[in-house]
Structure 1
Amino acid sequence: MKKWKLALIVATVFTLVIAGCSKDGNQGAPTNNGEQNQQGAKKDVSIKMFNFKVEIAEALNNLVDEYEKETGVKVEVETHGGGEDYGALLKAELASGSEPEIFNNGGYVGLIPYMDRATDLTDEAWAKDLIESSKNPTMVDGKLYGMPMNVEGYGIIYNKSLFEQAGITEEPKNLSQLKEAVEKLNAEGITPFMATNEWWSLGMHLVNVGLANQPDPQKFIEDVKAGNATFKDNEIFKQWLDLVDLIFNNAQKDKMTSDYASQIANFSAGKAAMMLQGNWTQADIDKIDPHLQLGVLPAPINDNEGSVLIGVPSNYIVNSKSDHPEEAKNFLNWLVTSETGKTFVSKEFKFIPALTNIEATENDIGQIAVAIQDKSPTALGWYWDLFPDGVSQGFGAAMQEYLGAQISGQQLLEKLDKSVEDIVKQ
């Protein structure tokens, strides 16, 4: 199997950042005096990890069991995600006086409220192996404050068998071609899209399609935050509504009550031909039908060729205010340098690794990631983390109203503007 050309995946999406130098470190989890702990020897240490990645919750629990066997250090994992508001739950956790040693954070402006806790990881042994552009979300003043969890991509995942059944012989590349495919699917009695009501899928992933298609996404976002631009007057977002309408108007009847789990289960069972999702769904799909033949379409907003969207979904932050930040760093080092940890990253989590020292074959990470990698030269980026915390939740609420046909397209765009305005004014 070929190895992933990981630099290719992200080189077209991010601006490269020159990071500080790294130093070599000891493999394995050292004890307080720097010597490696005897394998399996119980240490009177327990650290906590606040995890938002629900897709890997089971595998992550298995991983920390292996870590305890090898090092004697217990890692307690608390997972919140999917329909839960991870950011609000993390804030509540910290406000209660609990300080998890490791927590997830998207970086960029989302990191600002946690800079008083974020530990400088620039000189960790694994930092030298990071894809340079994967450092961007947690680089502040030339220092690295997070370990990128992985690289991910999303687009319109489709069922090849259902496309064949509908007589669709070529992958749609633009919106007109996608509309033609929808018509063929409907004519065959096949539900075109399996939608979800999850705020994060709607408010982050779907809204991001409009953001990423801006001539200069970061400038547009800064202008919106400053009150110098709006969604309702933006031509790109007016075109983006055509894609949203195509998905919502050709989705399953119970779309308003379909959470992430039901979306994946029903799509995997062949109840719809397409869904807007990413390579993180591969493990859940495989549990239902590991033989399902899948591809990934770009997400187009007009008659120009669309793009898949690639980025770093989250980063591991080491909490300097926790009881055992050094043990947290030891765990992260083990995760990406030990054979056990690296195997979990690629084969169990099915991650596209953010580090060049972790090899991942097509069999490891699945056909969805392969399809995304094939389209990476024209990929666009992820921009929702450039908004303050709470904005994407507002986007999600507005999108849910539109999904339920409670507001018009113009009202949706106005509500996107208000979501930004309400947070920025605070």
Structure 2
Amino acid sequence: MNHKTKASMLLTMLLTLSLLLGACGGNSVNKGGTVSSEPSNKPEGETTSTPGTPVTLNAFLFNMDKRQALEETFVEFTKQNPDIKVNLLVNDQDYYTVLKTKIASNDMPDIVMGEYGDLLELGEAGHILDLSADAYIANYAEQIREQIREQMKTSNGKIYGIPLDVSGMGIYYNKELFKQAGIEQFPKTQQQMQEAIDKLKEKGITPFSLAVADGWTLAHSLFTTIAGTTDDLKGLAAAVASGVTLQSDRLKEGFKTLDMMYANADPQASTNNYNASLSLLAQGKVAMLQQGYWAYSSITDINPDVQLGFGAIPYSEKEEDAKLGVNVNVSYAITAKSKNQEAAKKLFAWLTTVEGNGIANEKMKQIPAIQGVTISSNSIADDIIAYMNAGKVVPWSQVLMNGSTRVEAETVMQGYYFKKKTQEAVATDIAAAWSKK
């Protein structure tokens, strides 16, 4: 999830989210390199490319962090399929606003991306294809990865997009700075977190980096707090969507962790953007940063030698409550009016093979969604997989929200950071947005 999702859509949905079990790798999968002979679900009158005709697929994405990796991946695909090229267009600032403009002007690209809820809205509005009948969907094997397909499916069994990877959200920490401060392990409780903060400050080390100027980063801190302070996220989503309050004693307690992060951030936090926050961590100027796994490659691009770990955010005084947020990452979809649907499906079929998914995730430094893929390891992926193996994970709350709620969370949490909103006001505002139809 680059998970800098800037959605502005208006649909709330429920998705059965189960904990992901097991590590990446395992038994081999059906490589399914051909597309299904089932109907393509394209609107009446639409055409697709003729086999052998040179095709350029336009892919409109918001994953700026992975732009180079995806471009390199698509080049590898074109080497095997010389009649198909992929033109990558990226906008990570106003993606959904631009996408809605493209829809309104009948200028849709061939491929788009989005969170589950965004693709659900696009699919139900007829803008993207249902891929559930395509043969390559079988490449999301059952067994170890069986819950991935459940995270892709709508309540009526449709699949509007394919993910390439799974991802985690937690706290990056600089192992060398922790060692300097005498911190032996990542905190599992709020008290342990406060003790770690105190030790870091005693050594003149700034505990946290923040990117307040990019409101989506603060919104993610809210989303992880919501997910980390409930035992039944699906039930909570259903309740809030129907008008029940979001407020709870556990949520109120969880906000104490946010207060610790916000109160112990670097002095430029209020003006820092996302890239600045990554640089501070990479350069060893701060000890911790809450972010998703998608940021890892950008951090190591800045400093390949930085020694990092990844830990679950503690939201209580119970060590067993410290669970890492893990979920299917953003998905890729084929637009209904694309004249190159068959070429796009050929790309999707390749991206969901062990070979194609392996190439993509090796370049993106992500955790593969396809079972049997082996890629180079790194410390952050290892930490995420360890949490998965231990069953110490929770799903992401934002994938159960409508797009407008996710956007509103940015402004709401900036208001909380600048002490213009209370915790109670945040809960009220988000619940109200979440319940809108």
Q: Does the Cα contact within 8 Å between 1:212 and 1:382 map onto a contact in 2?
A: no
Q: Does the Cα contact within 8 Å between 2:117 and 2:400 map onto a contact in 1?
A: yes
Identify which of 103, 117, 121 aligns with 1:94. Answer: 103
Q: Does the Cα contact within 8 Å between 1:212 and 1:383 map onto a contact in 2?
A: no
Unaligned stretches of 5+ residues in structure 2: 1-16, 22-29, 36-47
Identify which of 285, 296, 305 aligns with 1:291. Answer: 305
Aligned to 2:11: none
| Cα deviations by residue, 1:245-302 (Å, 9 ceiling, x for unpaired) | 0000000111111111111111100010001112212211211221211111211111
Identify which of 337, 344, 351 aligns with 1:335. Answer: 351
SS at the partner of 1:257? coil
Could you state the TM-score of these two structures normalised by the residue count of structure 1?
0.85
Q: Does the Cα contact within 8 Å between 2:119 and 2:160 map onto a contact in 1?
A: no
Aligned to 2:87: 76
Q: Residue 136 and residue 202 in structure 1: after superposition, are their counterparts in 2 closer, same or farther (change >3 A)?
A: farther
Matched, 1:122 2:132: yes
Q: Does the Cα contact within 8 Å between 2:19 and 2:147 map onto a contact in 1?
A: no
Aligned to 2:41: none
1:378 Cα offset (Å): 0.7
Matched, 1:181 2:196: yes
> 5 Å matches for 1:21-60?
24-26=32-34, 43-60=53-70
Q: Percent of aligned positions with the same letter in both sequences?
A: 28
Aligned to 1:112: 121
Q: Residue 191 and residue 24 in structure 1: after superposition, are their counterparts in 2 closer, same or farther (change >3 A)?
A: closer
**1: CA distance between counterparts of 2:410 and 2:193?**
24
Q: Which of structures 1 and 2 has the larger relative contact order (alpha carbons within 8 angstroms, sep 6+)?
A: 2
| Cα deviations by residue, 1:386-414 (Å, 9 ceiling, x for unpaired) | 12221011111111112223333333333
**1: CA distance between counterparts of 2:97 and 2:151?**
20
**2: CA distance between counterparts of 1:395 and 1:157?**
22
| Cα deviations by residue, 1:117-138 (Å, 9 ceiling, x for unpaired) | 3323234343222132112343
Unaligned stretches of 5+ residues in structure 1: 1-9, 15-21, 38-42
**2: CA distance between counterparts of 1:98 and 1:66?**
27
Aligned to 1:6: none
Residue type at the aligned position of 2:86: V
Q: Residue 291 and residue 194 in structure 1: after superposition, are their counterparts in 2 closer, same or farther (change >3 A)?
A: same
Worse-superposed segment, 273-282 or 126-135: 126-135
SS at the partner of 1:151? strand
Alpha-carbon RMSD: 2.4
1:338 Cα offset (Å): 7.4
Residue type at the aligned position of 1:368: I
Worse-superposed segment, 114-123 or 220-229: 114-123
Could you state the TM-score of these two structures normalised by the residue count of structure 2?
0.83
Identify which of 267, 272, 281 aligns with 2:295. Answer: 281
| Cα deviations by residue, 1:211-252 (Å, 9 ceiling, x for unpaired) | 342122122222222212233xx2122112101100000001
1:33 Cα offset (Å): 6.2
1:64 Cα offset (Å): 2.6
SS at the partner of 1:119? coil
Worse-superposed segment, 327-336 or 116-125: 116-125
> 5 Å matches for 1:401-416?
401-416=415-430
SS at the partner of 1:247? helix
**2: CA distance between counterparts of 1:98 and 1:253?**
44
Q: Does the Cα contact within 8 Å between 1:120 and 1:144 map onto a contact in 2?
A: yes
Residue type at the aligned position of 2:179: E
| Cα deviations by residue, 1:99-129 (Å, 9 ceiling, x for unpaired) | 1111112114751343313323234343222
Q: Residue 345 and residue 65 in structure 1: after superposition, are their counterparts in 2 closer, same or farther (change >3 A)?
A: closer
Identify which of 368, 372, 379 aligns with 2:384. Answer: 372
Q: Does the Cα contact within 8 Å between 1:110 and 1:388 map onto a contact in 2?
A: no
Residue type at the aligned position of 2:383: A
**2: CA distance between counterparts of 1:290 and 1:11?**
34
Aligned to 1:172: 187
Q: Does the Cα contact within 8 Å between 1:346 and 1:359 map onto a contact in 2?
A: no
Aligned to 1:217: 233
Aligned to 1:12: 19
> 5 Å matches for 1:324-403?
324-337=340-353, 339=355, 341-362=356-377, 366-376=378-388, 377-403=391-417
Matched, 1:200 2:210: no
1:417 Cα offset (Å): 3.1
Q: Does the Cα contact within 8 Å between 1:109 and 1:387 map onto a contact in 2?
A: no
**2: CA distance between counterparts of 1:178 and 1:162?**
15
| Cα deviations by residue, 1:192-229 (Å, 9 ceiling, x for unpaired) | 00111222222135323223421221222222222122
Q: Residue 117 and residue 211 in structure 1: after superposition, are their counterparts in 2 closer, same or farther (change >3 A)?
A: same
1:158 Cα offset (Å): 0.3
